[in-house]
Amino acid sequence: MIAEDIRQVIIDILARIAPDEDLSDLQDDVAFREQMELDSMDFLDIVMELRKQYRVQIPEEEYEQLISMSSTVSYLMPRLKDVESPA
C-alpha cells in the first residue's frame, strides 16, 4: 500500500469508530484529539481495527505514534508496504 491507501484505511476505521463524525475536512497534521472527540477507548480501537484487518501488532508503548493522520501514515508505511491495497 502507498501512503494514500493507508490514509484511506485510517479514514475508514475512524468512520466506523465514530459514524456520526464528519471526516471530510480532517487535517492531517493536527492531532486527531483536537479535531474529533477520541478518548483512550477509541485509540485502543484504532489499534485493534488494524490488528483485525491487517494483522499489524502495535505494542502499547508505540500507541503515541498514532497521534495524527500524518504520523500514523508514516508509522504504518513500512509495516503495510507489502500489503495489497484494498480494491
Query: Which residue, 4 or 62, has its beta carbon nearer to another protein?
Result: 62
Q: What CA–CA distance (Å, rounded) separates 36 from 51?
A: 22
Torsion angle in degrees (nearest 10) through CA of 74, 19, 53, 72 = 10
Least distance to another protein from the beta carbon of 59, Å? Answer: 11
**Can you tell me which residue has the cell 505514534?**
65
Quote the CA–CA distance of 75 and 25 in Å, as a whole number.
Answer: 22
Distance in Å, CB of 76 to another protein, minimum: 18
Binders of another protein among 11-70, rule CB under 8 A? 16-21, 36-37, 39, 41-42, 44-45, 48, 51-52, 57
Closer CB to another protein, 26 or 36, in the complex: 36
